[in-house]
Amino acid sequence: MAEVKASLFCGVVAALLCSTALAFVEDLDETFKDTRVNDIWLVDFYAPWCGYCKKLEPIWFDVGAELKSSGSPVRVGKMDATAYSGMASEFGVRGYPTIKLLKGDLAFSYKGPRTKDDIVEFANRVAGPAVRALPSKQMFEHMMKRHDVLFVYVGADSPLKEKYNDVASELIVYTYFFSASEEALPESVSLSELPTVVVFKDGGHFTYDEYEDGSLSSWVNKERFQGYLQIDGFTLYELGETGKLVAIAVIHEKDPTEQSDRLKTLMQRVAKEYREHFNRDFQFGHMDGNDYINSLIMGEVAVPSVIILNTSNEQYFLPSEPIETMEQLVQFISGVLNGSAQAYGGDGFIQRIKRVAFDAKSTIMSVFRSSPLLGCFLFGLPLGVISLMCYGICTAESDDGSEDMDALKREGLTDEEEEEEEEERQRAAELEGPAEEEEDVGEKAPEEKKTD
């Protein structure tokens, strides 16, 4: 009896918790378009049949609960984009799930990892002001500890500040933007001129130069990552938006070797010591294992090794010999930069055909590895049906073909040739008739003899 009560109590608690979580996420319908204007909304556009949407659902309830409990002004909702496809199209929904923060007339798309902490951080960042003030050194130091990369406008009102505010409104989906007076900066930071935009990262600070760096938006987009990163598939996708080439040390991080550690150290040194030479064009980092790289280049990359990827056109570069020293690595990167290094891959027509074939092969192999019986059913049955259809078509064509040949022969004869052919058939029949009668007589003669 006690066990029954305990199980009932647990069930009631779970139901209450579930209903509480559901209360933090609102189901949206066609009225949302008219009622959303006065609030900030974080919306998940989903499809009921989408597996990724189902995987996101419990995380989405946690996001709603977290934002509600922290006092955030952001309201969390979800909308069936298949039921309200017109409204989803107005918000630019092209796939599922799509996460957007709606703030007034603006819609900000979330492109980060689908984890509770990352989504909550995105919502709080975008919901607030595009540029946040740092009024004191204590606040500045606090922000430096919280963020690996920090963009700060320093100085009074100016045309540069207007540009900075515009860039912040555009790129707030990726990073934070701050403003401060020169007095709020650490004493170790000295700036040659004001106003200016500074990025603090990698243990130092670097200022924006309009003549060397081009547009402020492009500079911020390239500088929003640390100089050296641990790279995975998602990070590589984000790096593609910077326009930089990505230099990667492919290593076994979980099972490190001396050569792996050496390549990783060399890449870190180049990123730091050769920043002035390569930072505008290259992003440096390492990747654990070669599975993802192999799928990108449709080949096999040794581990450990070095590869440089151009994500804009799917080209890649490999060193002609194993990298052992700092000089070899710098020479290889310089060769890629000046165009002397050989490029592989690309996005041409032949490469696209190879990509389709490679993806099809990878899908089939993954199905067979995970479930051989399912693979046989999915691919063996259709192949068997197609084979039977081909066999039937081929045999039908052969029979019809012989009849068609006879018809063509007859059509090609003149009237006199047809009469001659008919007479020949009659003569042949007459000759065959007596021969058959003689055979019958020959067969009956012995029996007649016996009766006699």
Write the pLDDT tens digit of every residue in 97-113.
999 999 888 889 998 88
Tell me, what DSSP letter sits at residue 378?
I
More confident residue, 140 or 415: 140
Statement: residue 84 has pLDDT above 60? yes
Active centre residues (catalytic): 50, 53
Q: 108 and 27 in one domain?
A: yes
Residue tagged 């799930």 (tokens) = 97
Helix (H) or strand (E) holding 198: strand 196-201
Total tally of structural domains belonging to the chain: 3
Mean pLDDT of 5-10: 48
- Cβ atoms of residues 224 and 146 within 8 Å: no
Whether pTM > 0.85 for this model: the answer is no
278 with 335, same domain: the answer is yes
**338/36: higher pLDDT:** 338
Between CA 281 and CA 245 the distance in angstroms is 6
CATH code, domain with 200: 3.40.30.10
Task: Label the pairing between strands 150-154 and 132-134.
Answer: unpaired
State the pLDDT at residue 367.
62
In this structure, the answer to whether residues 192 and 233 fall within a common structural domain is: no
**Helix (H), strand (E) at residue 344:** strand 344-345
Could you tell me if 226 and 279 are in contact, meaning their C-beta atoms sit under 8 angstroms apart? no
3 state SS of 267: helix
Residue-wise pLDDT tens digits, 246-274: 999 999 888 888 999 999 999 999 999 99
In a domain? residue 295: yes
The neighbouring-strand residues paired with 286 are 230, 249
For the stretch 170-195, pLDDT in tens is 999 999 999 999 999 988 888 989 99
Rounded CA-CA distance 49/56 in Å is 13
Shared-domain flag, residues 120 and 135: no
Closest by alpha carbon to 280, among 327, 337, 326? 337
Cis ω for the linkage preceding 304 (within 30 of 0): yes
Q: Tell whether 190 and 135 lie within a shared domain.
A: yes
65 within a domain of the structure (yes/no): yes
Q: Domain end: 288, 314, 345, which one?
A: 345
The two tokens of residue 73 are: 């002004």
Give the model's confidence band at 217: pLDDT under 50 very low, under 70 low, under 90 confident, else very high: very high
Judgement on whether residues 188 and 86 belong to the same structural domain of the protein: no
Question: What is the DSSP track for 111-133?
Answer: -S---HHHHHHHHHHHHS-SSEE
Tell me what pLDDT residue 356 has: 78
Per the model's pLDDT, the better-predicted residue between 337 and 356 turns out to be 337
| Domain end call among 292, 318, 345 | 345
Same domain? For 205 and 304 the reply is no
Summarised one tens digit per residue, pLDDT across range 111-142 is: 888 899 999 999 999 999 999 999 999 999 99
Exposure string for 161-182, b = 16+ CB within 10 A, e = fewer: bebbbebbeebbebbbbbbbee
**Using 50, 70 and 90 to split pLDDT, how confident is the model at 408?**
very low
* % of the chain with per-residue pLDDT over 90: 50
Contacts of 108 (CB under 8 A, 6+ apart): 100, 101, 102, 126, 172, 173
Could you give the angle at the alpha carbon of 229 between the alpha carbons of 223 and 232, nearest 5°?
Answer: 115
Residue 370 lies in a domain: no
Percentage with pLDDT > 70 across the chain: 78
Which residues, including other chains, have CB under 8 Å from residue 249's CB and lie 6 or more apart?
260, 263, 264, 266, 267, 285, 286, 287, 304, 305, 306
Domain for residue 327, yes or no?
Answer: yes
**pLDDT tens, position by position, 218-231:** 999 999 999 999 99
The DSSP bridge partners found for residue 106 are 103
What is the SS3 assignment for 286-320? EEECCHHHHHHHCCCCCCCEEEEEECCCCEEECCC
Q: Are residues 31 and 91 in the same domain?
A: yes
Residue 113 belongs to what domain range?
21-126
Of 304, 319, 345, the position where a domain reaches its end is 345
Q: Nearest-CA neighbor of 314 among 285, 339, 351, 361? A: 351
Q: What is the DSSP string of 15-49?
A: HHHHHHHHHTEEE--TTHHHHSTTSEEEEEEE-TT
Q: What angle do CA 254, 260, 262 make, to 5 degrees?
A: 135
Tokens coding 97 = 């799930």
Say whether pLDDT at 18 is over 90. Answer: no
